[in-house]
Each structure stands twice: as C-alpha cells, then as structure tokens.
Structure 1
C-alpha cells in the first residue's frame, strides 16, 4: 500500500525502497482515526483479536467469571476451580497480546516485536512469581524449561506444518536465523551449568548436601546477573547497532503477509483503549494465575499428576497460548520471519530475562530458588535446540520438519507423564 503524501523531507515511506531503519509506524496507524477511550467499542474491536486463531479463544471468555465465582463461592471444588481458571487464562492472555500489538504498531518493527514479547512474557512472570511465593520451586523449574520446549517444538512445529500446507517451502531471513539460533544455544548452555556442577560434585561426594545446595544457589544467582547482562546486550544489538538488518528482514516478511491488506482495513484501538485493555487483562491474568496455582497442591496429591508434568506441559501451554496462536497465524500468512522472531525471541526471553528475574526476586524475598534443573528436562531441552537449529540452518522449512518437531514434543510429554515427583513432594503437598 503506497502512502499518497510523502513524509520526512519528501521520502515516501509507503514504497519498498524507503529507509527501513526509520521509526515508521504501521500504515494502518497513519490514517485519521478515533481518539479517547470508548470501552464498549474497544470490546467490540477486541473480539476480532489480532489473529484469526486468537479470535477463536474468545469462546472461552465465559470461563473468566465462572473461574472467579467458583474460587470465591465453592472453594472445595478444587478440580473445577483449576480447570476453569486454566481455561480463563487463555482468552485473557490473548487480550493482553492483542492490546500490546496495538501499541507496537505505533513503534519501529523491531522494537514492536520486543514489546509484544515482553507483554507475552508478563503472563509467564506472573505465574512463576505466584509459584515462587507458594514455594513451588519444582513446578517453576519445569515451567521455565517447558515454556522453551513448547516454543521450540510444539509451536515451531505447528508453524512449519501450517505454513507447509499453504506453501511448499517457506524461507526466512539469515539475520533472524543466525542471531536467534546462536543466542538460543548459548542461553540453554548457560542454564545447564548449575545442573552440571551439581551432578558432577554430587557424584564425587566431596561436599555435604547442604553445602552443595548452598554453592549451587550462589552459582545460580551469579548466573542470573550475567544472563540479564546478556539480555541487555542482545537488546542493544537488535535495537541499536544492527537495527537496520532486523528491520529489513521484518519489512520483507510483512510485504509477503497474505492478510496485510485486510489488516490495514481493520479498525484499531486508540492509545487510551489499548492501555485500558492492557491493565484490565493483566489484572485478570494475575487473578486467574493465583487461583490456578492455589489448586496445584490438590491436583498433584489427589489426581496423581506429577510436578514435572504440571510444570513442563500444562502450565506452559496456557501461559503463552496467545503467542503460539499468533505465530501459527503468521506462518499461515507466509510471514515466517515474524513467526520465528516471536518464537525464538520468546524462548530467548524466557532464558535470559524471565529465569534471572525469578532467581533474583527469590533472592530478595529469601526464597532459595536456583537453576539446578532436573537432568531429564535439561537433556530434553538440549536435544530440542539441536533439532530445531538443524532444521532452520538452511533458512527453509516444510511440513515434514514441523511434524517431526511435534512428534518429539509429544514423546517428551508422554515421558513426563510417568516422571515421578521428587521424594516426599506429594506428602508435602
């Protein structure tokens, strides 16, 4: 779509040959639009969501009041409280993703993607913080790795399958693949070190268990600080020194988007409406997260669901459901650079931002949470990174690679179902 009126010294930013490093908002935001905040109109716009799949989650909106009412009026219905609040988090997370997407369209593309990822990760942070203050450390560890597994295998696999149905082979930018893949490998390797230290020293038997746990905790806290430094460096790399390369890749992907014309014609939220929906959805997500986490004790002890399955599979599926649906929708529209930026970026953000935040908040709150993950989970994550990295190194994807990713994720889920909780954990619950 070409802009009729040239901007910034006569340059026409509506054309492909424009300066892609300029902070130009989405074309749909340059049209005259509404102002102020109309909650009713915002709700109507919200119902169509930012993606076709995301809009389908609106059928789960009735679970929002049901989950809240069951918690307050029928606190003994543990299973139903867990299920209703679990399902209610999906449309609320989608609403949060939609409102953040409305903000991001007014920003440069690279910054916009990062803002969307940060809002999406806020659901994960809220869940993990609630678990932290409930001292559910095993579930947090599993949830962090499970979030990365769901992004790498399940969602990436579904993106490859959906995109492969419509296009024989989808291509993506070398910049997105090399930067994302390399940083992902380093991130996962960094998370492995506390586990490797614990297993190695424990096998030698040279330190008492209490002293070993204390050293692992110190290593985790020091690693958390370094991981945050790595994340800041990553942001500086994307937003400052190499911004033009990432923006060019996303711009070209945007031009291939088969639904771009429809997106431009859609009505959008005003700044006030986007802010209103963002804070409202954050409030509801927090409530549902608290009510859901309160039932984990009962689910683990009475329904014989292990902490590993709860954290590695169940919690990650709901905490980033909106991000997964958006990525699949982008793959269907042949905007694979956007899809991969969301998926790889979300995984990197979990490793370099969310994990350190939980460790450091635990340090401040005197909660001894560390990064000593279970060996089984670490091995599953390492193989996942290697598999996905091997599939994307040629900068092409097809439905076969996607099917293999999903199959491996299902194998991990089945294995996790039989993985026992740590000794004494169920009695503790």
Structure 2
C-alpha cells in the first residue's frame, strides 16, 4: 500500500533524469524542473535518517539533531544560491519559507483535518510560545530595513555589521528555545507532541508492527550523508539554471524565491504536517509548521547572513518592504487562528486564502532595480 513516503520516493527517478538533462543539454528549464523534483524525496529521506539516528542518540541529542537538520535542504539551497550571487532570491526564500509554513502548511493541515474531524485540538501554550518567538523574528528582520529607510546614505558595510550582530542575537535565542523545549520545560511539549511524534516516527520508519525496532546506525548515517551530498549537487543544478529557466517561464526572482524555492525545500515537511493532521494529530502538525518557521527565522536566516559574511557576499537583513508586510500579515493571522488551541476546516480555508492572495501579489509584483536576476 502506498503511503506519503512511498509516493515521495517515486520522485527519486528525477535524480538520474536531472543529471542526464544537465550533461546532455536538454535545456535549462528541463534541468530546473527535474532537479527541483529530485530534491523533494531527498529531503524526505534526510528527515527519516535524522529521526532514525535521533532514536539512538536519545531525546536531548536527538532533538538537537532534528532541530539542526530540520531545514537542512533549504540551508543548502540558500548557501549555494548565496555563493552564486543570487542574494535577492536567498532573502526572498527566507520570507517565503516563513509565509508558506504559517499559511500554506497550517492551512492545508487545518482544512483537510477539519474535513475529517469537526474540530481538532492542540496545545495552545506551545502555539503562544511559538507566536512570541515569531514576533521577535519579525522585529529582528524589520529593524535593519527600518534603519536603512530612516538613515539615507547608510553604507553596505554598516548594514552588514548590523545584520551580523542581529543574526548572532537570533542564534542565541534559538539555542535558548531548544534549551527551553528539551530541558527546562519539556513537560509543556510532552503533553501533546511526544506521543504523536513517536507515532509519526514509527510510521515513517515503516515500523508500526515492530515495537522492538532496531536502528542500523551506520546505515542511516550513510543515508544522511549520501542524501546531503546529493541535495547539494541537485541544488547546484537548480541554482545554475534558475536565472534562465525562470526567465523562460516568465517568473521574477521575487516570486521564485518567495513561492517556488520554499515549496521545493519544504515539500516533504509539508506532506508530513498534512498527513498527521488527517489522522487527528494536530499537535504534531502545528508543531511541524510553527517549528519550521521558527527554525527559518531564528537559525537558517542568521546562518545565511553569517555565511554571506564569510563568503564575501553582502547578505544582510535589509529586505524588500513588501516581503516584510507579507511576513507580518502571515504571523498576525497565524497567531490569531492558533492562539485558542483548536481548529476547523474554515480556519484552514482562511489561511489558504491569505496565502493565495499573497502569492498573487508576488506574482504580479513588478520587477524593480535591485530585484531582477
């Protein structure tokens, strides 16, 4: 019987197809599309390998490993794009990831889960804590842009230093959130997420009928290593063909970064969140969606800023103002809907409608100087 993971694994066929497209010169658009499809199952297998290894490492180290590799695919794509000089695409992918997790993923989870169950409940305390952390993230990416807007003539070096300092603060906050959730206040998360997380893990490992499931640690470390290297290679193909392919498809760098790249990088995670919601495990679904947004805002974005500093690329937190508006709106509506600890299909529709409106706005947003590829 085909489950979500098996369906995603069928996309592995696009790995040799994308490589063949590259070497046989089948065109940038073909390489771009096939490499994007190849990344999706690789991300899913990276997640499975991480979860298997986490079982052996125990709850604390395992939780840290899961948190670190939770958005590894996006981080790899971001670093490769950054090294290629596609800084506007990298910035757009950061805001797009936050938006897609808060609106698209939670929206589909609440809608499809709500069609099967009249109302679904999750931990409101965890949702409120995540909402507070997301508010901090919004402030952190808003401040450098506000400084630039209110200080005419500020030079790139100063903006880079400000962004790097803010990035360090965000990484410290991220480490503290891990300490809070894994050490000092685990009971808040154990109440609803732990048992559903174990269920999801068992399902991903195809081990529902095997309570004494043994983890082959060398095998899964090898799988994680191979998948990571393959994702890096496929990301190279994706980034190398991105400019020409998006031009042929009539897409702007802003739309590509905000809409396409996050969907490619997060597809496996999105599928997990929706699948568990349809099994009435909304605690885990909300945890995946909000947790992924926090990882992007508090870990991936700061790491990319610091990576830009190391690579000599002027990556900072000075975003397109419209991106900031979109992120702020997404955080506000997601916080509003998730604060009461229950959901239904109509709330899912509201989140999806908000995402569709923003996606349309990004699609029709005119290309301005500094944003074109």
**Given the two structures, how large is their TM-score scaled by the length of structure 1?**
0.80
Aligned match of 2:209: 265
For residues 103 and 149 of structure 1, do their structure 2 counterparts lie closer, same or farther at Cα, with a shift above 3 Å needed?
Answer: same
Give me the whole-angstrom Cα distance separating, in 2, the residues matched to 1:418 and 1:89. Answer: 27
| Corresponding residue SS for 2:365 | coil
2:97 to 130, 142, 147: 147
Larger relative contact order, structure 1 or 2 (CA cutoff 8 Å, min sep 6): 2
Q: Is the 8 A contact 1:110 1:243 kept in 2?
A: no
TM-aligned CA deviation for residue 253 of structure 1: 4.2
Q: Is the 8 A contact 1:256 1:335 kept in 2?
A: no
TM-aligned CA deviation for residue 111 of structure 1: 5.8
Aligned match of 2:281: 335
Q: Is the 8 A contact 1:176 1:249 kept in 2?
A: no
Give me the whole-angstrom Cα distance separating, in 1, the residues matched to 2:233 and 2:284. Answer: 31
Give me the whole-angstrom Cα distance separating, in 1, the residues matched to 2:71 and 2:247. Answer: 29
1:123-162 paired onto structure 2 within 5 Å: 123-162=73-112
Aligned match of 2:158: 215
Aligned match of 1:13: none
2:305 to 359, 374, 381: 359
More helix by share: 2
More displaced 10-residue stretch of structure 1: 228-237 or 305-314: 228-237
TM-aligned CA deviation for residue 263 of structure 1: 4.6
Give me the whole-angstrom Cα distance separating, in 2, the residues matched to 1:254 and 1:296. Answer: 36
For residues 326 and 270 of structure 1, do their structure 2 counterparts lie closer, same or farther at Cα, with a shift above 3 Å needed?
Answer: same
Give me the whole-angstrom Cα distance separating, in 1, the residues matched to 2:218 and 2:321. Answer: 47
For residues 279 and 395 of structure 1, do their structure 2 counterparts lie closer, same or farther at Cα, with a shift above 3 Å needed?
Answer: same
Give me the whole-angstrom Cα distance separating, in 2, the residues matched to 1:255 and 1:90. Answer: 23
Give me the whole-angstrom Cα distance separating, in 2, the residues matched to 1:424 and 1:252. Answer: 48
Q: Is the 8 A contact 1:150 1:317 kept in 2?
A: yes
2:21 to 65, 70, 81: 70
Q: Is the 8 A contact 1:254 1:335 kept in 2?
A: no
Aligned match of 2:185: 242
Which sections of structure 2, spanning at least 5 residues, go unmatched? none
| Corresponding residue SS for 1:87 | helix
Deviation digits for residues 67-121 of structure 1 (CA, Å, limit 9, x no counterpart): 01111221x6111111110111111111111211222334555764553343231
Say what the alpha-carbon RMSD is for the aligned residues.
Answer: 2.3
Count of matched residue pairs:
369
Aligned match of 2:296: 350
TM-aligned CA deviation for residue 214 of structure 1: 3.3
Which sections of structure 1, spanning at least 5 residues, go unmatched? 1-46, 202-206
Alignment of 1:382 with 2:328, yes or no, is yes
Bigger Rg over Cα: 1
